[in-house]
Copies of this chain bind each other. A is one copy, B any other.
Amino acid sequence: MRITIAQLAKRLKADLILNENRESSIKNRVSRIESVAPIEVAEENEVTFITNDKHKIALGKSRAGAVIVSAHLDGLDKPQLVVKNVNAALIEAMNIFAPKLKPVTAGIDPTAKLGHDVKLSKGVSVGAGVVIDDGVEIGQNCMISSGCKIGQNSKLGSNCRLDSNVVLHHNCRLGNNVIIQANSTIGSTGFGYSFIDGAYRLIPHNGGVVLEDFVEIGANCCIDRAKFGNTIIGAGTKIDNLVQIAHNVVIGKCCLIISQVGIAGSCTLGDGVVLGGQAGLADNIKLGDGVMVGAQSGVGHNTPAGTQLFGSPAFEKREAIRIFGLNKRLPGMAKLLKQLTKRVEKLEASEDDKK
């Protein structure tokens, strides 16, 4: 894709503000843009963007052919595309300049294997080697890539995308616009055992998994099915790669779960919760709306809405920062304690002399 700055401005619904200098204005209006790039690396044929003040500083040296801004910047010898929301415009621009790929075409690959009573709405594409078991229903325009397995009676809404080799077990329900990236496993049997007569016996998992609308799951994730009822991921929640979500976990709407997080059985998360990378939750924990947990933190207790937690075991943010700081000061404290002891001994000695 290769368009003029004027055309780009139009597509981004941006006000195009050119340079004072008339000649370069004309040149700019017709000069062509081929992609989006960060300020540091953008070239003349690329458009860049300002989403924070660090960017503004770097902008002086940037070779970018144009810049997307939320408000006109004075004294900048560069065409500016002024938009209401730079992030939204950036997404639009990146879609405009996305690498061209042959679109996936609807239809069922001859090597796919469909069971009985499978209902496929129109526009569905089923890739090579896909196995779809009995009673599965798949909504309009879903894309099921090669090597996926969909277990009995699972139901997918419209516009879902399963990347290659995803395993979606039986009796799971996906809403609309759900994305599951490659090699993820949804509906695996949870880790629930009873120790009976000298051996661990698996507790059957009769429940399923529900992924609501606009849930997006990364690659190589595991979401276990419930023992009873369902493991539920709320609408709009996004999950990164290699995340573990155990049986009967219930996650609210618009949460962000960063890579390698582990959530143990029956945890309940409110809406807008953010879990940093490699964080862990013990089983049966409740986190209120908007709770934020730092990377590598370990949470073992229920936490009210809006709390920020750090550390393993996790403390409330302010306390955690104080404790981390004091840990750095421990050597000093130990030294001071030693000196103080000496000084007290000295005082005690002179006390005794007086007696």
Contact = CB atoms under 8 A, between A and B. Distances in A.
28 contacts: A35-B206, A91-B204, A99-B170, A99-B206, A101-B152, A102-B133, A102-B152, A111-B129, A128-B129, A131-B147, A147-B149, A181-B185, A182-B188, A185-B220, A200-B238, A218-B222, A219-B222, A220-B242, A222-B259, A244-B277, A246-B259, A259-B264, A277-B280, A296-B298, A296-B312, A319-B328, A322-B330, A344-B344
A121 interface: no
A194 B87 contact: yes
A119 to B, nearest CB: 16
B246 A244 contact: no
Nearest to A330: B326
A337 B334 contact: no
A337 B337 CA distance: 7
A222 B224 contact: no
- Among A167, A182, A220, A262, the most chain B Cβ lie within 10 Å of the Cβ of A182
A278 interface: yes
A258 B260 CA distance: 14
A234 B229 CA distance: 33
Given A102-B134, A260-B280, A277-B280, 15 more contacts: A87-B194, A87-B201, A97-B206, A147-B147, A164-B167, A183-B184, A183-B185, A191-B218, A191-B240, A244-B259, A244-B260, A244-B277, A260-B260, A260-B262, A313-B324
A236 B193 CA distance: 11
Give the number of copies in the complex.
3
A37 to B, nearest CB: 5
Given A228-B37, A295-B280, A219 B149 contact: no
B219 A185 contact: yes
A206 B221 CA distance: 23
| Contact residues on A (Cβ < 8 Å of other chain), bracket | 35 or more
A170 B344 contact: no
Interface string A159-170: 000011101011
A30 interface: no
Interface stretch (A9-17, A55-63, A72-80, A346-354): A346-354
B127 A147 contact: no
Given A183-B165, A258-B191, A201 B91 contact: yes
Contacts of A216: 202
A277 B264 contact: yes
Interface in A124-150: 127-129, 131, 133-134, 145-147, 149
A104 B277 CA distance: 39
A165 B327 CA distance: 46
Given A204-B91, A280-B277, A188 B196 contact: no
Contacts of A27: none
A336 B347 contact: no
Contacts of A258: 191, 264
A263 to B, nearest CB: 9
Interface in A309-345: 312-313, 315, 319, 322-324, 326-331, 333-334, 336-337, 340-341, 343-344
